Amino acid sequence: MSKTGARVRAVAAQVVDATVTGGRSLDAALEQHEAEVPANDVALLRMLCFGTIRHYFQLDEWSRKLLDRPLKRKDSVVAALLAVGLYQLTETRIPDHAAVSGTVEAARQLRRPRHAGLLNALLRRFMRESLAELPPGSEAARYNHPDWLIDSLREDWPDDWQAILDANNERAPMWLRVNARRMGVDAYRDALEAAGLESEQGVTGALRLKTPVSVGDLPGFDAGDVSVQDAAAQLAAPWLLEGAEPGRLLDACAAPGGKTAHLLELAEPGSELVAVDIDPERLSAVDANLARLKLSATVLAGDASKPESWWDGAPFAGILLDAPCSASGVIRRHPDIKLNRRASDIGRLKELQGQILDALWPLLTPGGRLLYVTCSVQSAENDAVTSAFVDRTPDARENDMLPNNNIRDVMRRKACGYQVLPGTAGVDGFYFACLEKVSA
Distance CA 236, CA 95 (A): 44
Indicate the length of the chain as a whole number: 440
Distance CA 315, CA 43 (A): 47
Q: In the beta sheet, which residues pair with residue 371?
A: 320, 434
Distance CA 178, CA 107 (A): 45
Distance CA 27, CA 50 (A): 9
Buried/exposed 401-414: b ≥16 CB within 10 Å, e otherwise: ebbeeebeebbeeb
Residues 6+ apart with CB under 8 A from 69: none
Could you tell me what percentage of the chain is helix, strand and coil, using 3-state DSSP and rounding each to the nearest 5? 50, 15, 35
The residue type at 294: K
Distance CA 281, CA 258 (A): 16
Distance CA 306, CA 24 (A): 28
3-state secondary structure of 301: strand
Rounded to 5 degrees, φ, ψ at 259 are -75, -30
Selected catalytic residue, list 49, 375, 416, 434: 375
**Is 416 annotated as catalytic?**
no
Q: What is the set of active-site residues?
A: 375
